[in-house]
Amino acid sequence: QSSHNHLKAVVSTQSTGMDFMDLDQGGRIQAYYIWIDGSGQNIRGKTKTIDRPVTSVNELPEWNFDGSSTNQSTGKNSDVYIKPVSIFRDPFRRGDNILVMCECYAPDGSPHPTNKRHACNELMERHKEHKPWFGIEQEYTMFDKTGRHPYQWPDNGFPGPQGPYYCGVGADRVAGRKIVEAHYRACMYAGVKIAGSNAEVMPSQWEYQVGPCEGIDMGDHLWVSRYILSRVAEEFDVVISFDPKPIPGDWNGAGCHCNISTLPMREEGGMPHIVAAIEKMSLKHDEHIREYDPTCGADNARRLTGLHETASIDQFSYGVANRGASIRIPRQCEKDGYGYFEDRRPASNCDPYAVTARIVKSICE
């Protein structure tokens, strides 16, 4: 019996590794530094030991990584520096351990070409009197561990047509709810401003919402939420895809709809400010499309076809409660006469720093 229990303990440790996670850390903490790689859409990260718990990002040192392995090398010098910009509680290591969102810098100290956050932050600071609020609806699709087959789709053929899956309930209508629930709770623990979640139109496709966040916080919170999602999915041998059109054909794509308001829009009588902002954005449609996915519009062209609740990528439109328009004004906002509007064009793999910066630039400058 004793040897049997010992074998069970060994197997448990080998299969999960979690038996070590309650070991004392001797007053030191683990800080997981997160950055965006050269693709503009993938997350990288590594762990640094810090001698004591921290309460401010200013207590954390800068670090570096090998840019030649992340498509971020500049010339012969492959070092890329990462500067901590925001911290979150670590839902995986827990305790005083933290997640650290970082910006990338070149060896000469200038913002790295892949660093969209630096310019976004400068823009937000210039227009902070407008108090821009954002809420982003992040759609994504689950795949099996190969990253090629949608999670729990039939081995041969396709599931039934779209219709019963949106906000669905039941094993015949949804797949991956355990991942969704774990991600939601992990975001809440971390301090990410997650606001809701739901099953989407295509099977194995889900959405969660983050916000409202003011200014630069929107990008920080969304990127960390994406890291947490992919990290949770690892535990289930599931791959998260942010591709805007993961399955060709008569299936919905995946977006990252961005809801926007400024202080004047949120105040009573704010509707004229909403319409004026949308009119300004209509004049910069092409510029927005170039910033709304990491391939200057090529990814979004597969999604924004005018079908499956999208507007055509070539045309700008807006309307009240119209999910086939580029920008939607919610019916409740029209009724109230103030509130916010929704830009439905950003792709699911967009960089939220680029998206929010482009919006503020269009409506505030």
Cα distance between residue 302 and residue 313, in whole Å: 9
How sure is the predictor about 18, in pLDDT bands with cuts at 50, 70 and 90?
A: confident
Residue with tokens 């969102």: 101
Percent of the chain exceeding pLDDT 70 equals 95
Residues 6+ apart with CB under 8 A from 146: 239
Q: Is the pLDDT of residue 56 over 50?
A: yes
Q: Mean of the pLDDT values across residues 336-363?
A: 98
| 264-303 pLDDT tens trace | 999 999 999 999 999 999 999 999 999 999 999 999 999 9
Residues 6+ apart with CB under 8 A from 62: 81, 82, 83, 84
- Residue 364 has what pLDDT? 96
Of how many residues is the chain composed?
365
Residue with tokens 């997350």: 43
**In 3D, which of 202, 221, 246 has the Cα closest to residue 136?**
221
**In 3D, which of 242, 245, 241 has the Cα closest to residue 303?**
245
| Main-chain phi, psi angles of 80, to 5 degrees | -125, 135
H or E segment to which residue 102 belongs = strand 98-105
Is pTM beyond 0.85? Reply is yes
- Token pair for residue 140? 């994504």
- Residue 12 has what pLDDT? 46
- Cβ neighbours around 353 below 10 Å, total: 26
Asked whether the CA dihedral 338, 304, 198, 147 is positive or negative, the reply is: negative
Cα distance between residue 16 and residue 317, in whole Å: 51
- What is the identity of the amino acid at 342? E
Chain-wide mean pLDDT for the chain? 94
Q: Is the pLDDT of residue 17 over 90?
A: no
How sure is the predictor about 15, in pLDDT bands with cuts at 50, 70 and 90?
A: low
Q: Is the pLDDT of residue 3 over 70?
A: no
- Residue 44 has what pLDDT? 98
- Residue 1 has what pLDDT? 54
- Residue 4 has what pLDDT? 53
Any idea what DSSP says for residue 75? Answer: T
- Residue 5 has what pLDDT? 56
Asked whether the CA dihedral 307, 313, 319, 323 is positive or negative, the reply is: positive
- Residue 76 has what pLDDT? 79
Candidate from 4-13, 108-117, 267-276 with smallest mean pLDDT: 4-13
Cα distance between residue 130 and residue 93, in whole Å: 38
How sure is the predictor about 160, in pLDDT bands with cuts at 50, 70 and 90?
A: very high
Q: Mean of the pLDDT values across residues 12-17?
A: 54
Residues 6+ apart with CB under 8 A from 119: 111, 353, 357
Cα distance between residue 150 and residue 133, in whole Å: 34
Q: Mean of the pLDDT values across residues 194-208?
A: 97
Cα distance between residue 113 and residue 39, in whole Å: 11
Separation of CA 145 from chain center? 20
Candidate from 71-75, 205-209, 254-258, 326-330 with smallest mean pLDDT: 71-75
Residues 6+ apart with CB under 8 A from 79: 64, 65, 66, 67, 107
Q: Is the pLDDT of residue 16 over 70?
A: no
- Token pair for residue 190? 């971390």
Q: Is the pLDDT of residue 14 over 80?
A: no
Residue with tokens 């109230």: 336
Q: Mean of the pLDDT values across residues 301-330?
A: 94
- Residue 38 has what pLDDT? 96
Cα distance between residue 210 and residue 136, in whole Å: 5
